[in-house]
Amino acid sequence: MDEKVTIKIKEKEYVIRGSDNRDRIIKVAAYVDNKIKEIGEIKTGLPDDKIAVLTALDIAGDYFQLLEEKKGLLEEVKRRSQRLMQRLSTVLN
């Protein structure tokens, strides 16, 4: 169920509605706020819109890196599972 949640990013409050639960929305908003602060400290003097774009790119980069790591882990699980199945087949036959 969509629930209204008040979040704060860069000291500005936003009321949003999302399908995730309240705690997750607040956690995601805090993550975004921290990333914006982090990038704002590195890129001083940039306007807020550029900091927001850099933050979005940074978060997207993290996301795609995690997708690649997940893919690698799933491939490793598949390889290990196949080896285990082969060993079991050898022992059982």
pLDDT tens profile 18-66: 888 999 999 999 999 999 999 999 999 999 999 999 999 999 999 999 9
41, two tokens = 């400290």
* Rounded-to-integer distance, Cα 3 and Cα 25, Å: 10
pLDDT, position 72: 98
Q: What's the predicted TM-score (pTM) here?
A: 0.79
pLDDT, position 18: 84
Rg from Cα positions in the chain: 21
Q: Is residue 1 scored above 90 in pLDDT?
A: no
Q: Tell me how crowded residue 17 is: count the other CB atoms within 10 A of its CB.
A: 10
* Residue 3: band (very low, low, confident or very high) from pLDDT cuts 50, 70, 90: confident
Residue ranges per structural domain of the chain: 3-92
* Coil/strand/helix, residue 2: coil
Please report, in angstroms and rounded to a whole number, the separation of the first and last CA atoms in the chain.
Answer: 53
